[in-house]
Amino acid sequence: MTKAFRLGGLLRYRRLQEDQASANLARANASRRTHAQRMAAVRGELSEGDADVSSVIALKAAAAARATSRSLLLELQTLGAVIDADAQSAQAALVAAKMAASSLEKLADQHEKDSVEAQLLDEQKYLDELALTRKVGKL
């Protein structure tokens, strides 16, 4: 019987961390896509608006609308920068989680290999012993 991998619990924990980091990255990327779609929609709406400036009041209203639109775009760009920073942070967390799990996975693989070798060695010893007892019995 092979010994259990003593760090198995920690390995499972690291894999859970990796899964969580992967889910966080997926959410961050979805947020990026949603924001990019929102920005494209706002830019499309703003580019369509041709103001009729037949009077001074209409000119002032058009100028105010443009100023408001410009402010909105700046806020959306700032939000986009925050979303991108969050996505980069999530990417870095995923890489760190993968690295932490990777070293334990290598240890687990080595443990499995050593366990199989030990089991095969035990079987070989048993077969050798069995062969010796049969030879002694025939003599």
Question: What's the domain count of the chain?
Answer: 1
In a domain, 70, yes or no: yes
pTM to 2 decimal places: 0.69
In a domain, 3, yes or no: no
What is the CATH number for 125? 1.10.287
Listed as own residue / partner, the contacts of 7-10 with beta carbons closer than 8 Å and 24 or more positions apart are 7/104, 7/107, 7/108, 8/108, 10/104
- 21-73 pLDDT tens trace: 999 999 999 999 999 998 888 888 777 766 566 788 877 887 887 888 888 88
In a domain, 128, yes or no: yes
In a domain, 2, yes or no: no
The residue range of the domain holding 69 is 8-138
CA distance to 13, 44, 60, 64, 66, per residue, from 51 (Å): 60, 15, 11, 11, 10
pLDDT at res. 2: 64
